[in-house]
Amino acid sequence: MRFDLVVNTLTARAVVDKKIAIFGGNQWRPHVHCRDAARAFVLALEAPAAAVAGEVFNVGGDAQNHRIADLGDIVARCVEGTELVRQKDVADPRDYRVSFAKIRRVLGFQPEISVAQGVREVAAAVRSNPAWQRHDEPAFHNVHALKQTFTALQRRRDDAARAPKLVVA
C-alpha cells in the first residue's frame, strides 16, 4: 500500500485520525484505480502494434481529473465522521490536469472505477489492516523508504571501509 498518493493519504487520515486537512486545494490531479490501469495495459498489449508502437498514453479518464479540494470533499463524504479542515491557499507548482482523449480514441479505454469507489475500498482496507493504520511509517511512502534504504547502504559501505583489512601472507 502506498500512502504517498493524495487519495490514499487523505483516506487513511480520515479513517485513523477522523480529520483531514487540505492545503490550498486548487491543484489538479488525475486519478486512475489500479484495476483500471491494469485493464489499460491489457488493452494496449492486445491492440494492433501499429496503433500503439512508440506511442505514449495518459491512462485515465477526464472525469477523474479532480482538484485537491474536491478530493477532500469526496473523502469526507465517503468516510463518515471525517472533519475536513481547509488551510489557506498554498503555492504548489504541481498541477496536473491531463487529457485522456488519445487513449479513449485509440484503445476505447474509459475508467470504470470512480475516485469515490476507490476511497471506500482504501477506507475498508485501512480499517481491516492494523499495519496500514500506521500510514505515516516510511514503508508506505516511496521517497521515505528509498531514503532509509540508501542510508542503510551508506552505513554498510562506511562500516566496510572502517573494517580491518585481511592480509594474506
* Domain regions of the chain by residue span: 6-140
pLDDT of residue 161: 65
How do residues 34-62 score in pLDDT, each as one tens digit?
999 999 999 999 999 999 999 999 999 99
The CATH superfamily of 6-140 is NAD(P)-binding Rossmann-like Domain (3.40.50.720)
Average pLDDT, the chain: 87
| Rg value, the chain, Cα | 21
Please state, in angstroms and rounded to a whole number, the distance separating the CA atoms of residues 169 and 163: 19
AA letter at 9: T
* Among the ranges given (27-31, 65-69, 86-90, 148-152), the one the predictor scored with the smallest mean pLDDT: 148-152
Q: How many helices (H) does the chain have, and how many strands (E)?
A: 7, 4
The per-residue pLDDT for range 117-138, each reduced to its tens digit, is: 999 999 999 999 888 887 777 7
Cα–Cα nearest to 32, from 143, 109, 128, 108: 109
Residue 164: pLDDT over 70: no
Cα 95–Cα 71–Cα 31 angle in degrees, nearest 5: 60
User: Is it the case that residue 105 has pLDDT exceeding 90?
Assistant: yes
